[in-house]
Amino acid sequence: MALNVIVCVKQVPDTNEIKIDPVKNTLIREGVASILNHDDANALEEALKLKDIYPETKVTVLSMGPPQAKEMLIECLAKGADDAILLSDRALGGSDTWATSNALSSAIKKIGNYDIIFAGRQAIDGDTAQVGPQIAEKLDIPQVTYVRNFKISGETITVHRALEDGYETIEVKKPCLLTTIKELNKPRYMNIRGIFDATQKEIKVWSAKDIGVTDTEVGLDASPTNVFRSFTPALKGKGKLIDGETSNEIARILLLELKHKQLI
């Protein structure tokens, strides 16, 4: 089976590493690395697993972002992707999920001939989980989100879609879009050979014009949603320190305090 698989990936700041300056109430961004979004790493891994089983499979990674996102795409190539495309253009800047999905779906149409599109469930910087389904809608193909188990047999794909209290088993035909969660697999590491091969490959950079989108479809002005205001949440402030000679004394002081305030 020779499959054409497209994986949508995003370069994100590692939000785990970000802290708020408690005095100035601003973000401390210095030294925070840009990484391949976690859920997207699972999306790529599932595509690469298909390639392990069916070596004829072609895996194309697709991203939208500034030129620096090439670093992340090199990482994807080093892990085993065949082809990498970056949509990068100032005209795409400020796109919300609706506009982003216009750009990505237009690029996917240009790539053409795909069987499966994998995307991470959501990106850790925006946490919207919207772009995957919106790409599927614009391509008029079925979607399954929260995929935690994947099997393919001929034209039919069988997946487990995670629910809050279990999962559902779903059958879907190619072509389709699947969004992946971390329970699906464990992403592989790059190897030396892969890194060497990746440096020999070219990353294609496409502009808005290349994918045939205009300012009514992409960018800040085209986006239906806008940021009205943004701010850092106010922290509660340091509370009362409970201290004592022994753990027992500390426990007693705390419980007495809670009891006095009728909290317990």
- Phi, psi (rounded to 5 degrees) for 54: -120, 90
- According to CB under 8 A, which one of 13, 58, 70, 149 is a site residue for other proteins? 13
Among 109, 110, 169, 207, binds other proteins (CB under 8 A): 169
The one-letter code for the residue type at 85 is I
Q: Per CB under 8 A, does 228 bind other proteins?
A: yes
C-alpha distances in angstroms, 8 versus 24, 31, 105, 198, 239?
36, 26, 10, 18, 44
Per-residue binding letters, 181-220, with other proteins (x by CB under 8 A): --x------------------------------------x
Size of the site for other proteins (CB under 8 A): 96
Binders of other proteins in range 135-154 (CB under 8 A):
136-138, 141-146
Q: What is the DSSP letter of 234?
A: P
Looking at the Cβ atoms of 71 and 127, the one nearer to other proteins is 127
Residue whose CB is less far from other proteins, 197 or 221? 221
> Of 52-60, 72-80, 119-127, 191-199, which part binds other proteins (CB under 8 A)?
119-127
Using CB under 8 A, pick the residue from 63, 97, 180, 185 that binds other proteins: 97
Query: What whole-number distance in Å separates Cα of residue 78 and Cα of residue 198?
Result: 5
C-alpha distances in angstroms, 235 versus 21, 29, 92, 125, 263?
11, 18, 35, 20, 22
Closest contact distance (angstroms) between CB of 17 and other proteins is 10
52 binds other proteins (CB under 8 A): no
Would you state the structure tokens that stand for residue 5, as one six-digit string? 């698989």
- Residue 112: exposed, middle, or buried by beta-carbon count in 10 A (0-12, 13-18, 19+)? exposed
Name residues contacting other proteins, limited to 25-44 (CB under 8 A): 25-27, 29
Interface with other proteins includes 237 (CB under 8 A)? yes
Pick the closest to residue 9 from 32, 43, 33, 34 (CA basis).
43
Does residue 90 interact with other proteins by CB under 8 A?
Answer: yes
Query: What is the nearest approach in angstroms of other proteins to the Cβ of residue 181?
Result: 9
Q: Is the dihedral of CA 116, 122, 123, 128 positive or negative?
A: positive
